[in-house]
């Protein structure tokens, strides 16, 4: 437990620390036995989602104190400021208005700009999906390749894969991000140059990985379309804040959609960056995705803190990271549609809140942004669940599950595993119970004693369970927005800026100097002995 966690001078933090001490011997299963209404008291519903947070190391007093702490830091006011378009990104002096991109009221900031962008996006999507848009040889588009990295890749890739059941067979989408040429070439090998449209997604249109892949694609097209003159305008779209740079590449203004500095990359799937999503599932379904997020936005803005899904999840995160000393958080979707969701959340959570300086320019003295990880289940049950059940510390977990995908025996087994895992994490299995079972089966007392030591499972490993009836674009939209707002609420409690990411720049800058030395170009910059030694190994390998 971190006794120095005091984001303000309020005595509420001391109260929380004292309350944490009183919870040392708390047992979740015992709390259920003592209060048959615990589930009813500790679950919430909105936007098609149900959150059960009753399997946590909390009492009603815990939630009350955490909410009081959020009120002390004026969380409700800061939620309003976020959605109103105040400059909550203070280090870069701009708003963070991803919510404006899914606001259908007509009253959101930058409404005219957003509507114009989506109107043009809808036109392009209709042209491609109807076959009106053709490549250089007059054939319709059958494949779309999104070239981006970070938020220009993770969000669109995750959503397009999750909603591929809504594709209707119009176009097939591929995603390329890695500077490793294996990534781009593995896609190029599977597509026809005559019927492929490439989308270059880069706010600055200078991102190394994206531009290198784009140049490789253009060279490939020129080589493959030997019987026809390559018309770049028929094979490339761009989403960027720098249309002039896209023009230098050969992409005309009519093929460029805007990006704005008030939308961070990890929130950009809601913008024109999401055109690959719309090309896959159609503009109508893309708008349903946005609508689902809007419903969650309204809930986040208008609900009382103790009834607010993102806020409750954020407060639980604070409780575990800053009062129980947890260092990571598992996200476990029991829903194959969400197989890339944990990867998407890694950027959302850790790029947003992986900070060590607060909004008052002081060093942060308490943990922020636990490591987010996970995978689609039941795969994880056969790999890392051993650590969840019997590791020396505990990892708070989110279970996510669909309740009613249709008549599917596979799904019934899947859901049974989901519910069983959260139950097992909570209850565990006591040493004496295991020993007794082994003795009944014929094992000696001494051997049973030894075996039980290894087989006992401590329990009291906390988890949330988020369920929904049937997976749809609206449900996915509300789920993404739920986690976005959870991250923002965390940042308010930690008093940090969730919307800058200066830490990602240093390695990029150094890589430019390393590259020059690898190719013997430019000044001879001296590096540490390790880096110099590895550069020498590279050069020897190239001889």
Please check whether the two domains, 12-88+291-427+462-494 and 111-259, share a CATH topology: yes
Where are the domains positioned within the chain?
Answer: 12-88+291-427+462-494, 111-259, 503-542
Give the active site residue among 34, 382, 454, 505: 382
Give CA separation, 105 vs 291, 474, 538, 541, in Å: 11, 17, 57, 60
532-541: Cβ within 8 A, 24+ apart: none
Would you give the end-to-end CA distance of the chain in angstroms? 55
**382 labelled catalytic:** yes
> Which residue of the set 30, 508, 532, 539 is catalytic?
508
The burial of 516, by beta-carbon neighbours within 10 Å (0-12 exposed, 13-18 middle, 19 or more buried), is given as: middle
Single pTM value for the model: 0.96
Give me the residues of the chain with pLDDT under 70, please.
1-3, 227, 521-525
Q: How far apart are CA 10 and CA 481, in angstroms?
A: 30
**Structural fold of domain 111-259:** Rossmann fold (3.40.50)
Measured distance CA(274)–CA(157) in Å, rounded: 9
The pLDDT score that the predictor gives to residue 524 is 63
Q: Which residue has the tokens 């309003």?
A: 80
pLDDT score at 1: 47
**Nearest-angstrom CA–CA distance, 133 and 150:** 28
DSSP bridge pairs for 44: 51
Dig out the tokens for 401 from the structure: 């599950």
Residues in the chain: 543
Catalytic residue among 194, 209, 294, 351: 351
The CATH class of 12-88+291-427+462-494 is alpha beta
In this predicted structure, what is the pLDDT of residue 523? 59
Note the maximum CA span of the chain.
Answer: 83
- Is 385 an active-site residue? no
Are the beta carbons of 319 and 58 closer than 8 angstroms?
A: yes
Active site residue 351: yes
| DSSP reduced 3-state for 466 | strand
Q: Encode pLDDT of 357-368 as tens digits.
A: 999 999 999 999
Helices (H), 324-467: 341-346, 352-353, 385-390, 409-427, 431-440, 445-455
Structure confidence by residue, pLDDT tens digits, 162-198: 999 999 788 999 999 999 999 999 999 999 999 999 9
């Amino acid at each position: 437990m971190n006794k120095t966690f005091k984001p303000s001078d309020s005595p509420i933090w001391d109260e929380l620390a004292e309350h944490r001490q009183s919870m040392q011997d708390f047992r979740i299963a015992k709390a259920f036995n003592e209060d048959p209404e615990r589930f009813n008291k500790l679950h919430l519903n909105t936007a098609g989602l149900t959150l059960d947070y009753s399997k946590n190391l909390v009492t009603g007093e815990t939630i009350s104190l955490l909410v009081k702490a959020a009120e002390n830091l004026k969380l409700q006011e800061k939620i309003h400021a976020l959605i109103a378009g105040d400059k909550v990104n203070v280090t870069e002096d701009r708003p963070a208005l991803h919510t404006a991109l899914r606001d259908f009221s007509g009253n959101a900031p930058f409404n005219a700009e957003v509507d114009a962008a989506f109107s043009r996006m809808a036109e392009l999507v209709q042209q491609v999906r109807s076959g009106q848009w053709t490549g250089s040889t007059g054939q319709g588009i059958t494949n779309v390749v999104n070239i981006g990295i970070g938020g220009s890749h993770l969000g669109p890739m995750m959503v397009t894969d999750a909603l591929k059941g809504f594709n209707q067979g119009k176009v097939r989408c591929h995603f390329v991000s890695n500077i490793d040429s294996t990534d781009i070439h593995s896609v190029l090998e599977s597509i026809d140059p005559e019927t492929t449209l490439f989308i270059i997604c880069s706010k600055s249109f200078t991102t190394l990985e994206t531009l290198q892949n784009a140049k490789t694609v253009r060279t490939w097209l020129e080589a493959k379309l030997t019987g026809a003159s390559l018309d770049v305008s028929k094979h490339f779209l761009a989403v960027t804040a720098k249309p002039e740079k896209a023009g230098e590449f050969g992409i005309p203004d009519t093929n460029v959609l805007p990006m704005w500095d008030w939308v961070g990359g990890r929130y950009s799937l809601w913008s024109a960056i999401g055109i690959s999503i719309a090309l896959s599932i159609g503009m109508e379904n893309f708008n349903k995705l946005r609508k689902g997020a809007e419903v969650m936005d309204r809930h986040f803005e208008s609900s009382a803190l103790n009834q607010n899904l993102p806020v409750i999840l954020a407060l639980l995160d604070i409780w575990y990271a800053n009062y129980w000393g947890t260092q990571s958080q598992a996200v476990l979707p029991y829903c194959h549609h969400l197989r890339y969701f944990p990867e998407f959340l890694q950027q959302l959570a850790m790029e947003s809140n992986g900070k060590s300086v607060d909004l008052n320019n002081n060093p942060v003295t308490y943990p922020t942004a636990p490591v987010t990880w996970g995978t689609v289940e039941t795969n994880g049950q056969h790999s890392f669940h051993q650590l969840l059940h019997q590791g020396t510390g505990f990892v708070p977990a989110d279970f996510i599950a669909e309740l009613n995908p249709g008549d599917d025996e596979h799904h019934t087994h899947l859901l049974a595993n989901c519910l069983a895992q959260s139950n097992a994490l909570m209850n565990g299995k006591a040493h004496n119970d295991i020993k007794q079972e082994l003795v009944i089966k014929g094992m000696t007392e001494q051997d049973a004693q030894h075996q039980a030591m290894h087989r006992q499972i401590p329990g009291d490993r906390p988890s949330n369970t988020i369920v929904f009836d049937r997976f749809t674009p609206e449900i996915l939209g509300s789920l993404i927005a739920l986690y976005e707002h959870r991250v923002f609420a965390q940042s308010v409690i930690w008093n940090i800026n969730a919307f800058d990411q200066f830490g990602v720049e240093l390695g990029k800058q150094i890589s430019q100097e390393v590259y020059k030395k690898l190719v013997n170009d430019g000044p001879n910059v001296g590096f540490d002995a390790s880096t110099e030694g590895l550069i020498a190994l590279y050069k020897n390998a190239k001889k």
